Amino acid sequence: MKNRFEIPPTAGLPPRWSDLFPGKRDFATGLEHHFSLVEPQIECSGTAAFIVALTALKQCSHRKEVIIPAYTCPLVAMAVNHCGLKLTLCDLADNHFDFDFDQLARLANDNTLAIVPTHLGGRIADIARAKQIADPCGATVIEDAAQALGAEVGDLGDITFFSMAVGKGLSIYEGGILTANDPAMREKLKKTAQKHIRPNRILEWRRCLELIGYTAFYRPRGLHYIYGKPRRNALKTGNLIEAVGDRFPSTIPLHPVSQWRKNVAAQALERLPTFLADTRRQALERCQRLQAIEGIQVFQDDSEKKGVWPFLMVLMPDAPSRNQVLARLWDSPLGVSRLFIHALPDYAYLAKTIPQTHVPKARDFADRLLTITNSLWLDEPRFEAIFQVIKSAVKPPASIR
């Protein structure tokens, strides 16, 4: 069983074969009903949605600078570069994924087009503070909610985008959602997409076939072959970027999503609220247990708003203790992993895209963070095994106990 069982690193909504034979529910209407997203538009990826947003802003502004956290998905930086804009990195707050707001206030100026706070791992960023800094200098706040579909986000920022990529709460293999609070901005986003997103039938057919494959293999036995074995091979060769999927092609696909894939999403969407409620209950129980381990930090929501829980983010006391846990669990089938391998300036393959910036807190965060899947397939005995490994890694030496 060990050799043919793999728990994914994120809690994605398990697809059903019946999803591939959808009715004619309107996906956008379903998103409005379930999550109060106003007039959401569907793009081929979260990155594509972000590019549409940046392009729309660029068309009516002389500003050229986009500020993003120094620890986030490399695709965010690549999208800024794709749009011909200047990328500026802001360091993180101490022991946190959100901005160092003092530094953000120093960086924001009259050339800042957008500030992009990130709801990392479904945890809710402090959008109100980002707005307090953005508004006086006339910058737009774009909420990166790629990992947070279903969270209570998007009401404070100007523009919000979500991802429906592989392993996300709701997936159509690759997909994105884009919305804005201002009606004029929503109209601008739609017109920008109509102008710049051109059909690509070959790629869309490929995505349809990949979605069928995803439906077939996104289960513990299938994931052993398409996720577990490739990850273990990458770990054996020391290719950590490949192990977590941090290497992305330089070309970002931009094309409309077929009606069939939208219908599949609409069909699966009906199960998503219940799934998110179940994963939330599991996550809160397991966070409480993990918090009992002295010396670690388990991220929960600081505000009254509810996030979503694709995985648990655990910040270990130091890099050696984090690496000790990963040495025992990363190549196991238990869904323990890292999020992004590096702070953004440290990806060698993106050296021409991402400026070298002094971001010590982002580097420290990358060195100490590990993730635990919140998949409902991770049962209590398996979670207990993970818990004991983490506990032993931070156990103080006998000489000082």
Q: What is the reported pTM?
A: 0.96
Q: Output the pLDDT for position 400.
A: 43
User: What are the residue ranges spanned by the domains of the chain?
Assistant: 17-196
In our burial notation (b when 16+ CB lie closer than 10 A, e otherwise), range 159-170 reads bbbbbbbbbbbb
10-residue mean pLDDT profile of the chain (401 residues): values are: 81 97 92 96 98 97 97 98 98 98 98 98 97 98 98 97 96 98 97 97 98 97 95 97 96 97 97 98 98 96 90 98 98 97 98 96 98 98 98 71 43
Looking at residue 3, what is its pLDDT? 60
Short-list 220, 218, 375, CA closest to 286: 375
Residue 24: the pLDDT is: 84
What DSSP element (H or E) covers 47?
helix 46-59
Q: Which CATH number fits domain 17-196: 3.40.640.10, 3.90.1170.50, 3.30.470.20, 3.40.1710.10?
A: 3.40.640.10
The pLDDT value recorded for residue 1 is: 41
Provide the pLDDT for residue 75.
98
Contact criterion met (CB below 8 Å) for 114 and 66: yes
What is the CB neighbour count within 10 angstroms for residue 175? 27
Q: What is the pLDDT of residue 399?
A: 44
Query: What is the spatial distance between Cα 63 and Cα 147, in angstroms, rounded to a whole number?
Result: 28
Instruction: Find residue 42's DSSP bridge partners.
Output: 177
Amino acid at residue number 60? C
- What DSSP assignment string belongs to 201-241? HHHHHHHHHHHHHHHHH-SHHHHIIIIIHHHHHHHHTT-HH
Question: Amino acid identity of 234?
Answer: A
